Amino acid sequence: MIKLSVNVNKIATIRNARGNNVPNLLNVALDIEKFGAEGITVHPRPDERHIRYSDVYDLSKRITTEFNIEGYPNQKFIDLVLEVKPHQVTLVPDPPHVLTSNAGWKIKENKELLNEVLAEFSKAGIRTALFMEPLVFDVEQVEFVNVDRIELYTEAYASNYANKENAIKPFIESALIASKLGVGINAGHDLSLDNLAYFKQNIPNLLEVSIGHALISDSLYFGLEKTIELYLKELE
């Protein structure tokens, strides 16, 4: 069974628009769990424009499914993760002010940083993942870092979905390389009710998807409970 982890950054974005506590992020996250999602993902950014560091602490005390924290490993992020000890940390190479994650790691250029940080998280018993583009050279470099999983950056798949047979090819190739290297496979970014089933059907050894933008947008029409049911169905 492939796990659905719901990224709740968008809920925090709506809340922050008014400066009060509506919607209540914690309650929404607990409802997402109640409605059947198997994980909650947060991506705190240095400017805290959506998820705040305090949200991460609050959620970590109440979440009962898998908690996944994503982000760039600056010292503040590393300290947060080591204190909260989520089930999984996903490292993303995004600079502070990008709108959303827009690239995967170049392991060759960042090997020392990554190995140092990954070792710290592993020592603390936290499963590690690296956000990666489906590029053969980059994924092959996973051999040189001590990581548990990769998260395939699926934006290119989603934006080329009109030609889905071609769009999925590099992702299948990357998944096969990762599996051969003994690394687990997560995926995320721009996955939706339109493109999720085909991705799931074609990617070998897919363990988890993290979905935010499309899922929260769909819930405007279907409601959160029904929307989660629809996404879980795609993953069956």
Site residues for ligand PXP per CB under 6 A: 7, 9, 43, 70, 90, 92, 100-101, 131, 151, 188-191, 210-214
CB of 193 to ligand PXP, least distance (A): 12
Beta strands 3-7 and 39-42: pairing type? parallel
Under 8 Å between Cβ of 73 and 95: no
Torsion over CA: 200, 202, 207, 210 (sign): negative
Which CB sits closer to ligand PXP, 150 or 177? 150
Which CB sits closer to ligand PXP, 170 or 212? 212
Q: What are phi and psi of 110, to 5 degrees?
A: -125, 20
Token pair 């960042």 in the structure block, residue: 110
Which CB sits closer to ligand PXP, 55 or 151? 151
43 catalytic, yes or no? yes
50 catalytic, yes or no? no
221: its two tokens = 């029409």
12: its two tokens = 């925090």
CB of 85 to ligand PXP, least distance (A): 20
Q: Of the residues 33, 43, 208, 234, which is catalytic? A: 43
Q: Of the residues 50, 66, 189, 208, which is catalytic? A: 189
Which CB sits closer to ligand PXP, 4 or 84? 4
CB of 154 to ligand PXP, least distance (A): 8
DSSP annotation of 146 reads -
CB of 60 to ligand PXP, least distance (A): 18
Q: Of the residues 70, 133, 151, 208, which is catalytic? A: 70
| DSSP letter for each residue of 84-100 | H--SEEEE----TT-SS
Residue numbers annotated as active site? 43, 70, 189
